[in-house]
Amino acid sequence: MGGRQLPRVENNPTRVGVNRDLTVKGERRFMQAVRVRITVNGDEYVRTVPTSMTLLQFVRDELDLTGTKEGCGKGECGACTVLLDGAPVNSCLVFAYQCTGRSVVTIEGLSQGELLHPVQEAFIRHGAVQCGFCTPGMIMSAVALLASNPLPTQGEIREAISGNLCRCTGYNAIIESIDDAARRMAGWATAQDADAARG
Ligand code: FES
Ligand code: FES
Q: Say if residue 199 is exposed, middle or buried (CB neighbours under 10 Å; 0-12, 13-18, 19+).
A: exposed
Spatial separation of the C-alpha atoms in residues 13 and 70, rounded to whole Å: 24
Spatial separation of the C-alpha atoms in residues 22 and 9, rounded to whole Å: 19
| Type of residue found at 197 | A
Q: pLDDT value at position 19? A: 44
Residues in contact with ligand 2 by the CB-under-6-Å rule are 129-135, 166-169
193 or 15: which carries more pLDDT confidence? 193
Cα(22) to centroid(ligand 2), Å: 33
Ligand 1 contact, 164 CB (< 6 A): no
| Type of residue found at 29 | R
Which residues make Cβ contacts (< 8 Å) with residue 77, sequence separation at least 6?
A: 71, 134, 137, 164, 165
Cα(78) to centroid(ligand 1), Å: 5
CB atoms within 10 A of CB 71: 18
- CATH 1.10.150.120: does it fit domain 118-198? yes
Domain ranges of the chain: 17-109, 118-198
Q: Fold identical between 17-109 and 118-198? A: no
Ligand 2: which residue has its CA nearest to atom 2? 166
β-strand partners of 124: none
Q: pLDDT value at position 21? A: 46
Q: pLDDT value at position 199? A: 60
- Alpha carbon dihedral 94, 97, 100, 103, in 10-degree steps, equals 20
Q: pLDDT value at position 187? A: 87
Report the chain's mean pLDDT, rounded to a whole number: 87
Q: What is the pLDDT of residues 150-193, one digit of tens each?
A: 999 999 999 999 999 999 999 999 999 999 999 999 987 555 56
Q: pLDDT value at position 193? A: 60
Q: What is the pLDDT of residues 117-151, one digit of tens each?
A: 999 999 999 999 999 999 999 999 999 999 999 99
**Full-prediction pTM beyond 0.85?**
no
Mean pLDDT computed over 102-109? 98
* Fold (CATH) for 17-109: Ubiquitin-like (UB roll) (3.10.20)
